[in-house]
């Protein structure tokens, strides 16, 4: 891209906040891992969602920059949904990204286990099916139209799997007992308010916004579907080539991830303000304090990737026809994270 970050921000201020999440925070025209003067450039992708609060806070508070230290330039980019990040990862347009489990698996399997590795967890929870108040059960969804962020993304798979378990058929083309229309989260809020869809399975803050601003009700809090309410919503992945070339940079990024999660958990009020300020800087307008506070209660921030939920998500995607049989052996590389945790006297996390 040829726009500067400053020009992008001027453009963002001229857009409604609901349409700004897919634009870039910063752009780089250099080659992967290199920049003028011999500095290493780390291009980091994330979503403008509260489920990516660790990333938003890490950038806003300068936590990542401090952890990366001298000699590393951080370039942060935002995307609408995980599959878009996968495209950027596989084309070497970014070096690392916060993504959901299903896009992470897609990147791994499409590259035959070569392109990416999951190096840390970030968030558990923070996703829900929000519907019109008149809908009180799965049976009430038959013949209705729902939305998800993108075909094959984590919430799309969760929605289709839950519907299948409830005896309702869907197809990737939008057919079946319930029609699913993947679309931008901001568009979902608008179409829900306009009465064009009957609900959506979305991450935070969009679930809460659909309740507060759209008059919806939560039919399914996804935490209720998982053991102890724990399932991976956001993971940190890196390109294998970048990690091979710059293992020290990846270790320092992981130090930033751990430091950012520690900040988010120790100072939730400050973290909410930081995440919301960063959303405001990207989208031109922050969320309401009511939305942020309510959404925050449905998320847990953890370095643990909750590996068992990843494998279950793969099984769910296979059940609804969005993924074939997959071999996930080697998808986790948690040794660098565990080195960071060990240096802090904390127990290791597991990749099984």
pLDDT at 326: 86
Q: What are the residue ranges spanned by the domains of the chain? A: 5-126+230-343, 127-229
CA–CA gap between residue 345 and residue 309 (Å, rounded) = 26
**pLDDT at residue 37 in the model:** 54
Note the pLDDT of residue 5. 35
Alpha-helical regions (H) of the chain: 5-13, 53-60, 63-68, 82-90, 101-110, 154-165, 185-193, 206-212, 240-245, 247-266, 268-283, 289-296, 307-319, 335-343
- pLDDT the model gives residue 352: 73
Please identify which residue in the block is written with the tokens 């300020």.
277
In this structure, are residues 124 and 211 in contact, taking their beta carbons and an 8 Å threshold? no
CATH for the stretch 127-229: 3.40.190.10
Q: What class has domain 5-126+230-343?
A: alpha beta
- With a cut of 50, which residues of the chain have pLDDT below it? 1-32, 35
Cβ within 8 Å of residue 7, ≥6 positions away: none
Buried b (16+ CB within 10 A) or exposed e, 77-116: bbbbbbbbbbebbbeeebbbbbbbbbbbbbbbbeeebebb
Contact 95, 44 (CB under 8 A): yes
pLDDT at 348: 96
Residues ≥6 apart with Cβ < 8 Å to 175: none
pLDDT of residue 82: 87
Instruction: State the Cα–Cα distance between residues 169 and 348, nearest whole angstrom.
Output: 41
Predicted local confidence at residue 33, as pLDDT: 54
Q: Do domains 5-126+230-343 and 127-229 have the same CATH topology?
A: yes
- What is 188-201 written as a DSSP string? HHHHHHTTS-SEEE
pLDDT of residue 80: 83
Residue 306, by phi and psi: left (phi above 0), alpha (psi -120 to 50) or beta? left
Distance CA 158, CA 175 (A): 17
CB atoms within 10 A of CB 8: 18
Type and span of the H or E element at 104: helix 101-110
């Amino acid at each position: 891209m040829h726009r500067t970050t400053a020009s992008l921000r001027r453009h963002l201020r001229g857009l409604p906040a609901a349409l700004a999440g897919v634009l870039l925070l910063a752009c780089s025209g250099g080659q992967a891992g290199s920049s003028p003067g011999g500095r290493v450039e780390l291009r980091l992708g994330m979503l403008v969602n509260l489920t990516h609060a660790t990333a938003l806070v890490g950038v806003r508070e300068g936590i990542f920059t401090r952890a990366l230290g001298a000699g590393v330039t951080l370039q942060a980019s935002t995307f609408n949904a995980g599959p878009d990040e996968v495209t950027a990862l596989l084309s070497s347009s970014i070096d690392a990204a916060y993504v959901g489990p299903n896009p992470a698996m897609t990147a791994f399997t499409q590259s035959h286990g070569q392109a990416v590795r999951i190096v840390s967890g970030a968030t558990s929870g923070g996703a829900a099916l929000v519907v019109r108040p008149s809908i009180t059960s799965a049976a009430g969804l038959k013949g209705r139209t729902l939305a998800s962020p993108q075909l094959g993304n984590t919430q799309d798979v969760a929605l289709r799997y839950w519907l299948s378990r409830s005896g309702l058929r869907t197809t990737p083309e939008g057919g079946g007992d319930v029609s699913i229309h993947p679309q931008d989260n901001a568009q979902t809020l608008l179409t829900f308010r306009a009465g064009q869809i009957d609900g959506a399975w979305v991450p935070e803050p969009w679930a809460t916004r659909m309740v507060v601003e759209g008059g919806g009700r939560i039919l399914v809090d996804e935490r209720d579907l998982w053991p102890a309410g724990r399932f991976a919503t956001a993971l940190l992945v890196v390109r294998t080539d970048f990690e091979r070339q710059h293992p020290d940079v990846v270790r320092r990024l992981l130090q930033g991830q751990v430091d950012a999660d520690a900040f988010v958990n120790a100072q939730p009020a400050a973290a909410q303000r930081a995440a919301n300020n960063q959303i405001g800087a990207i989208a031109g307008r922050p969320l309401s304090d009511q939305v942020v506070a309510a959404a925050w209660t449905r998320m847990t921030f953890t370095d643990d990737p909750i590996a068992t939920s990843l494998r279950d998500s793969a099984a769910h995607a296979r059940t609804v026809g969005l993924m074939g049989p997959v071999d996930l052996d080697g998808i986790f590389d948690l040794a660098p994270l565990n080195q960071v945790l060990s240096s802090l006297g904390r127990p290791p996390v597991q990749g099984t």
